[in-house]
A and B are shown apart, each in its own frame.
Chain A
Amino acid sequence: MTLMNPRYTLSILCLGIAAVMAPGCSDTTSPQQKVTPPDTAHYVTTFDLKTVAGTAPFMLDSEMTTESGVRYKPSALRFYVSQFSLLDSAGNPVEATLVDTAGIPLKYNLTFCDYVNPETQVVRFLARKGTYTGATFSIGVPSDPVDGTGFNHVDASQQTYPLNVDNDMYWGWNPGYIFFKIEGLAMVNKSWESFYYHVGTDGRLASIQLATPFTVKGAGRAATMLVNTNRLFVTPSGGAFPNPGGALSDRVVNSGRLADTVARNLAKSGFITLQP
């Protein structure tokens, strides 16, 4: 049997006592080693909207040019953003409640973006600090009146902004909301002619997933949502369609194949991208 040197035995004993006592003492004797609890607070965070037409700044009633060379002057650009979530590090959706400036959840959990009103050029939501791999949302008004999460077919006369009838985003002949609207003039055979693309109905809810990492450091801007109107006129495969400078049936749209195309372009052609 081998006995330990008494000097070592005493040293080990002292270390043991110190180790046992250390945590208890740290609160009072070593504040710089204090363990900070994780920040689970939700901050009022924003994606600020910036609208362009290709490389040119977007302005109402000003001339822009599509990627295929069609000249157009938009007079309105409006849409709803709904079903908003952030994507965590694993790419899973994380709830991000849409809120107002005071952090109060928006009544319908959707945001209305109307270019003519600068106050609406922001998507404001609650998020925890951290790094996210992207965001996912829809352009439109979801329809699921059964569980109360959708409002597309409710009695609009009973609703308030932004789902009130007078918000100019409602179809009285087929109750439901216009999800997305761009209107204006386009050059057609050397003449400025009107065009409009009104996209609505349940099947055209445009789901968008933006896989661009960004960090929420606290309250305030987390990223910029870049809205590029020229991408409305480009199909996901790169075709120049629809053509606002084309025939009347190509530039006056509220249903049918062209509305399907615009909804697809909204979702898949890079109409909205994210810039950290």
Chain B
Amino acid sequence: MRYGRYYLGALALAMLMAACSAAVDTPPAPLVTIPKGFPELPVPAGNQLTAARIALGKKLFYDKQLSRTGEVACGSCHLQEKAFADPNQFSIGVEGRTGSRNAPSLANMAYNSSYFWDGGVPTLEQQAIGPIINPLEMNMTLGEATARVAAVPEYVTMFRSAYDTLPSPGTLTRAIASFVRTLVSGNSRFDKFDRGDSSAMTVQEQHGMTIFFGEKGECFHCHIGFNFSNNTFKNDGFLGKSIDSGRAKVTENPADMGKFKVPTLRNIALTAPYMHDGSLATLEEVVEHYVTLNHAHPNLDPVMHPLNITDQDRADLVAFLKALTDESFISDPRFKP
């Protein structure tokens, strides 16, 4: 018994040391993982990233109580397994309501200079307002959304921790923006290949990449840079099945009719359906559009012309696009509810 007491003490000491050792040896998970080759994450001075803000934003992102009927959360239409895009052509809002544009992927939104297909919103914080108050999406007032979260003690604690204040419309949108800002994706097989792993992409994918970045495919004119987007608005000859003025809705400039934001192509294999109205189901259909392009719109971008590529080129191009999928992004536990 006497020795037993010593053994117990030694065991407790060992466990304590192990716990301390684990705490010292395991670094905390970074708030955001910035892939090699990506620029520094843009973060506004008024909403610096903290673990508390990101955690609060994630909870709000997945909370259906932010919609009037309690049916829809941000995460209802931006699914992690789809690179935070929506597999539906049009997202389904409260009471089954639908809009007329396809929900884009949220990957690398922090690097965008404007938001929505027409670029009407300049910051992630302001973007967070739109879906909440849109009658076709969450159909909520910010005041009611704030009141609902303020009634939940856990939220009150989290808001205090994140912003040192009670829930308010301004902190609610800032928190959601903080979480979305962390959704950074840049670890596809293309990225590994680009960083020197020549085995990361197949020969077919490499050929597709040559088409993509060469004069045969000319995709690079718009889909360029670390995020495969030049952050501009282009009329690519795709008008869709219903009239949408695109960028001109914001600028009211006839020269912007039919122009839409150039989307990132990262994780594009996961974000079907495609184009601003989600009317193309597959990447093959998208390539077909650029091959058969026959549209005399006055605002058609000057670089647009029917592509002269073979069937094999098409297949290789699609294969390359599929190499832009970032598996670690869609399984990252930091982004899960």
Interface residue ranges, A against B (CB under 8 Å): 153, 155-158, 164-166, 170, 172-175, 201, 255-256
Q: Does B172 contact A (CB under 8 A)?
A: yes
Residues of chain B within 8 A of A166, CB atoms compared: 141-143, 169
Q: Is the CB of A174 within 8 A of B121?
A: yes
* Known A157-B126, A157-B142, A165-B133; contact A174-B120, beta-carbon cutoff 8 A: yes
CA distance A255 to B250 in the complex (A): 9
CA distance A164 to B143 in the complex (A): 9
Minimum C-beta distance from B113 to chain A (A): 14
Query: Which residue in chain B gives the minimum CB-CB distance to A173?
Result: B120
Q: Is the CB of A156 within 8 A of B141?
A: no
* Known A157-B173, A165-B141, A165-B142; contact A173-B123, beta-carbon cutoff 8 A: no
B94-112 near A? 1/0 per residue, CB < 8 Å: 0000000000000000000
- A-B contact list, 15 entries, CB within 8 Å: A153-B122, A155-B173, A156-B129, A157-B142, A157-B169, A158-B169, A164-B142, A164-B143, A165-B133, A172-B121, A174-B118, A174-B120, A174-B121, A201-B252, A255-B252
CA distance A164 to B129 in the complex (A): 11
Q: Is the CB of B121 within 8 A of A173?
A: yes
Q: Does B289 contact A (CB under 8 A)?
A: no
CA distance A157 to B125 in the complex (A): 8
Counted as pairs of residues, one from A and one from B, with CB atoms less than 8 Å apart, the total is: 61
CA distance A187 to B62 in the complex (A): 45
Query: Which residue in chain B gives the minimum CB-CB distance to A172?
Result: B130
Query: Which residue in chain A gives the minimum CB-CB distance to B123?
Result: A155
Minimum C-beta distance from B96 to chain A (A): 21
* Known A173-B120, A174-B121; contact A164-B250, beta-carbon cutoff 8 A: no
Q: Is the CB of B121 within 8 A of A157?
A: no
* Known A165-B133, A173-B130, A201-B252; contact A157-B172, beta-carbon cutoff 8 A: yes
Residues of chain B within 8 A of A256, CB atoms compared: 252
* Known A157-B129, A166-B143, A255-B252; contact A175-B122, beta-carbon cutoff 8 A: yes
CA distance A189 to B297 in the complex (A): 36
- Interface SS of chain A: helix, strand, loop or mixed? loop
Q: Is the CB of B126 within 8 A of A175?
A: yes
Q: Which of B111-144 contact A (CB under 8 A)?
A: 116, 118, 120-123, 125-126, 128-130, 132-134, 141-143
Q: Is the CB of A165 within 8 A of B249?
A: no
Q: Does B70 contact A (CB under 8 A)?
A: no
- Interface SS of chain B: helix, strand, loop or mixed? helix
Residues of chain B within 8 A of A156, CB atoms compared: 126, 129
Most B CB within 10 A of own CB, among A157, A166, A170, A256: A157
Q: Is the CB of B134 within 8 A of A172?
A: yes
* Known A166-B141, A175-B121, A175-B122; contact A155-B252, beta-carbon cutoff 8 A: no
Minimum C-beta distance from A18 to chain B (A): 73
Residues of chain B within 8 A of A165, CB atoms compared: 129, 133, 141-142, 169
Query: Which residue in chain A gives the minimum CB-CB distance to B172?
Result: A157
Minimum C-beta distance from A79 to chain B (A): 20
Minimum C-beta distance from B288 to chain A (A): 31
Residues of chain B within 8 A of A170, CB atoms compared: 133
Of A153, A155, A174, which contacts B249 at CB under 8 A? A174
Minimum C-beta distance from A146 to chain B (A): 15
Q: Does B170 contact A (CB under 8 A)?
A: yes
CA distance A200 to B116 in the complex (A): 19
B138-178 near A? 1/0 per residue, CB < 8 Å: 00011100000000000000000000000001101110000
* Known A165-B141, A166-B141; contact A173-B116, beta-carbon cutoff 8 A: yes
Residues of chain B within 8 A of A173, CB atoms compared: 116, 118, 120-121, 130, 134, 249-250
CA distance A146 to B18 in the complex (A): 56
CA distance A175 to B173 in the complex (A): 14
Residues of chain B within 8 A of A201, CB atoms compared: 252
Residues of chain A within 8 A of B121, CB atoms compared: 172-175
Q: Is the CB of A155 within 8 A of B126?
A: yes
Residues of chain A within 8 A of B123, CB atoms compared: 155
CA distance A158 to B174 in the complex (A): 9
Residues of chain A within 8 A of B252, CB atoms compared: 201, 255-256
CA distance A105 to B7 in the complex (A): 75
CA distance A70 to B169 in the complex (A): 42
